[in-house]
Amino acid sequence: MKGLWLTGALFLAGCVADGPRPAFTAGDGVTPGLASCLSAIGRADVAADPEAPMSAVEIQGLLTCTAERARR
C-alpha cells in the first residue's frame, strides 16, 4: 500500500512544471480531464466532492487513466 501511495505522489509531483505542490488545493476545482477519468473509473461523484474518500484501487485507476491521457 505504501508503494502505491509513493508512486501516486511521485506521479502527481512530476506533472507540475514549476516544482512540487499539492495536487489539489482548496478552490482549485476539478479539471475537465480529471472529471472524465473519474467518470471512467465509476466515481463521477468525486468531481462534485473532491474530498470524497477513494479506495487504493480507485486511486490507482485514476492515476492510470490520467497517465494514459497525458501520453496522447
Q: How many CB atoms lie within 10 A of CB 50?
A: 14
Count of domains for the chain:
1
| 17 domain-assigned | no
Domain that holds residue 42: 1-8+30-72
Does residue 4 belong to any structural domain of this protein?
yes
Domain assignment present for 22: no
- Residues 24 and 4: their CA atoms lie apart, in Å, by 18
What pLDDT score was predicted for residue 8? 53
Decide if 62 contacts 37 (C-beta within 8 A): yes
Q: Whole-angstrom Cα distance, residue 47 to residue 32?
A: 9
Q: Is residue 45 part of a domain?
A: yes
Q: Indicate whether 56 belongs to any domain.
A: yes
What are 44-62's pLDDT values in tens digits? 999 999 899 999 999 999 9
pTM of the full structure: 0.57
What cell numbers appear for 3 in the block?
508503494
The answer to whether 57 touches 65, Cβ cutoff 8 Å, is no
Across 29-37, average pLDDT: 84
* C-alpha cell of residue 54: 477513494
